[in-house]
Amino acid sequence: MATHIKLKTINLKNNPQYDERWLHEVISEDPSILQIGDVIVKDRERIHPGAGRLDLLLQEADGHGRFEVEIQLGTTDESHIIRTIEYWDIERKRYPQYDHTAVIIAEDITSRFLNVISLFNGYIPIMALQVSAVETSDGVGLHFTKVLDTVRLGYLGEDEDTSELTDRNYWETKRGTQKTVKLADQILDISKEFISSIEQSYNKYYIGFWVEGKPLNFAICRPQKNALRLEIRLPKSEEYDEIIATSDLDMLDYDKRWGNYRLRLTENDIEKQKETIKILLIKAYELRK
């Protein structure tokens, strides 16, 4: 029988060697230990006049997300959440082009604290990480547990019963053109090859899909004046990145907020890259059905 070794945790707040400065340094050197994605350190102890200093500002390495991180040793308190939200609000107003998330890190995140900040979640994107320090013969290791995550946005289509419906003419005359709406028809035709009951749904902000009488937006189409923007709902992965990278598809970006690969398509793109588009659509459908 394998030997069980009891781990020894230490309290950072009362430790003269492993203090808050040390914790800042460790996270700054390797922010991946937070396990909130591929992020880099944008700034440290960022001065906010009249409000204090933001401990860490992290940014997605390949996206548009920013994380305003506040660190507190010991147990969370009211001042901690106020500072965190205040820094988040300042940053989002100053740099609205990014998607901002407030992040609270503490050794002890109480149930009362979670109840309070969960009231904001959905309105203010807040993430709470509880850090544990484990002492070993080689030094101290850190373990971060996500005890509160931001609210995951629902799938497009889940609220279609109350959303503003439009028609084909709206997209042909106001948002796109007859030519680019026909590109959406081609995406529908490709989808019909593996979903016989699929049909289009014209909404104010996108052209979605219904399957067997119910919304199922594994992908959506946004006809524009000169091209079609196709958004395919797939988790970001090396597999899908490779499929797109080895094709001639024009990828705009990956929308982490909604979980979509966003492609810009012309008629020529759809004709030449039909099989690649079909593969991505099938994978997205299999994950949503």
**What gap in Å lies between CA 245 and CA 216, rounded to an integer?**
27
Question: Phi and psi dihedrals of 49, rounded to 5?
Answer: -50, 125
CATH for the stretch 8-148 = 3.40.1350.10
Strand partners, 69: 56, 103
Query: Does position 219 have pLDDT exceeding 60, yes or no?
Result: yes
Cα–Cα distance measured from residue 223 to residue 180, given in angstroms and rounded to the nearest whole number: 5
Mapped onto helix, strand or coil, the DSSP state of residue 221 is strand
| 80-104 exposure pattern, b = at least 16 Cβ within 10 A, e = fewer | bbebbbbbbebbbeeeeebbbbbbb
> pTM score, two decimals?
0.56
The contacts of residue 35 (CB under 8 Å, 6+ apart) are 144, 146
Domain regions of the chain by residue span: 8-148, 168-288
Domain 168-288: assigned CATH number: 3.90.1150
Asked if the model's pLDDT at residue 204 lies above 60, the reply is: yes
Beta bridge partners, 144, equal 131
Q: Are 11 and 42 in contact (CB under 8 A)?
A: no
Question: Of 25-39, 181-195, 230-244, where does mean pLDDT reach its minimum?
Answer: 25-39
Per-residue model confidence as pLDDT tens digits over 89-145: 999 898 888 889 999 998 888 887 777 777 776 678 888 898 888 888 777 888 888
Asked whether the domain spanning 168-288 has the same topology as the one spanning 8-148, the reply is: no
The pLDDT tens digits for 46-93 are 988 877 889 999 998 766 789 999 998 888 888 888 888 999 999 989
Side-chain half-sphere of 140: how many Cα atoms within 13 Å? 15
Cα-Cα end-to-end distance for the chain: 44
Q: Token pair of 267, please?
A: 């008629």
Report the pLDDT value the prediction gives residue 162, as an integer from 0 to 100.
44
